[in-house]
């Protein structure tokens, strides 16, 4: 053996023992440690002096794609939102172990304007992409807006109906006052900038906007700037 050692996958295949393919799946799943630290790259070089071991409960299965729920702070654009997805901002999610591969090829499937805050969904799972992008017009979203100005006499009724904004007719929303300066709005096919445009049509200026829910998945107590995994029991 060379001084540079051998591939980790080969070492795992020897010590388990198992096939090389199974060894690579153990490693990809985050089940293998080298000197006590998890190693996720099958091509990692190891020497005989290094301790290679399997974690309890290890299974040689390809890790499933993940979906991530982020509480995007106001003033953060899409690129900056992606940068927030890192281990230090993770809110622990029961039953899911963090893997570096969870940060790869994440698609933002619920865009939110930079000035707004709230729930943003990022995913590696084509099924979630299909649900929230291809079929997204049928998924209800819920927002709370802090507003100023004097609403038109028929303003609330107009917000609850279809309006023509951003060059298209909107799907009717469910709008109600939560306080003198706070509106709750829920509806389908809500696009970035739509709420502010609708409010402007009835004499209101949106000072802050937060998305609270996408489908049946709510933001909940997740702090701004932090993220968690979608649980297996959650469905949009």
**Per-domain boundaries in the chain:** 6-54, 64-139+216-236, 140-214
Cα(52)–Cα(173) distance, rounded to whole angstroms? 57
Cα 141 off chain centre by: 15
Residue 167: what pLDDT?
87
Cis before 17? omega within 30: yes
Cα 27 off chain centre by: 24
Burial bucket for residue 12 (CB in 10 Å: 0-12, 13-18, 19+): buried
Cα 19 off chain centre by: 35
Name the pTM for this structure: 0.87
Residue 226: what pLDDT?
97
Give the β-pairing of 52-54 and 107-108: unpaired
Query: What share of the chain has pLDDT > 70, as a percent?
Result: 99
The architecture CATH gives domain 64-139+216-236 = 2-Layer Sandwich (3.30)
Residue 166: what pLDDT?
84
**CATH topology of 64-139+216-236 equal to that of 140-214?**
yes
Residues sharing a CB contact under 8 Å with residue 31, sequence separation 6 or more, in sequence order: 54, 55, 57, 58, 59
Walk along the chain (236 residues) in steps of 10 and give the mean pLDDT of each run: 79 94 94 94 92 94 94 93 93 88 93 96 96 94 97 96 90 95 96 95 97 97 96 94
Q: Which CATH number, 3.10.290.10, 3.50.50.60, 3.40.50.150, 3.40.50.10490, labels domain 6-54?
A: 3.10.290.10
Superfamily of domain 140-214: Alpha-L RNA-binding motif (3.30.70.1560)
**Buried/exposed 85-115: b ≥16 CB within 10 Å, e otherwise:** beeeebeebeebebeebbbeebbbbbebbeb
Cα(141)–Cα(129) distance, rounded to whole angstroms? 16
Residue 13: what pLDDT?
96
Scan for tokens 């990809």, then name that residue.
28
Residue 94: what pLDDT?
83
């Amino acid at each position: 053996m060379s001084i540079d050692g051998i591939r980790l996958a080969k070492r795992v295949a020897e010590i388990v023992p198992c096939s090389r393919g199974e060894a690579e799946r153990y490693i990809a799943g985050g089940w293998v440690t080298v000197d006590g630290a998890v190693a996720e790259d099958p091509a990692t070089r190891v020497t005989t002096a290094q301790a290679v071991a399997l974690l309890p409960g290890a299974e040689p299965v390809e890790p499933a794609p993940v979906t991530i729920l982020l509480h995007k702070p106001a003033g953060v654009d899409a690129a900056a939102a992606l940068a927030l997805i890192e281990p230090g901002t993770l809110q622990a999610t029961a039953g899911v172990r963090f893997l570096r591969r969870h940060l790869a090829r994440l698609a933002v499937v619920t865009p939110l304007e930079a000035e707004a805050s709230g729930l943003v969904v990022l995913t590696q799972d084509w099924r979630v992409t299909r649900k929230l992008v291809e079929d997204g017009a049928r998924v209800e979203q819920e927002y709370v807006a802090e507003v100023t100005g004097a609403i038109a006499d028929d303003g609330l009724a107009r917000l609850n109906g279809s309006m023509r904004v951003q060059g298209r007719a909107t799907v009717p929303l469910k709008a109600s006052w939560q306080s003198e300066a706070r509106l709750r709005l829920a509806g389908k096919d809500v696009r970035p900038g739509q709420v502010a445009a609708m409010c402007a049509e009835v004499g209101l200026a949106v000072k802050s906007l937060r998305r609270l829910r996408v489908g049946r998945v709510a933001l909940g107590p997740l702090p701004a700037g932090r993220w968690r995994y979608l649980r297996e029991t959650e469905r949009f």
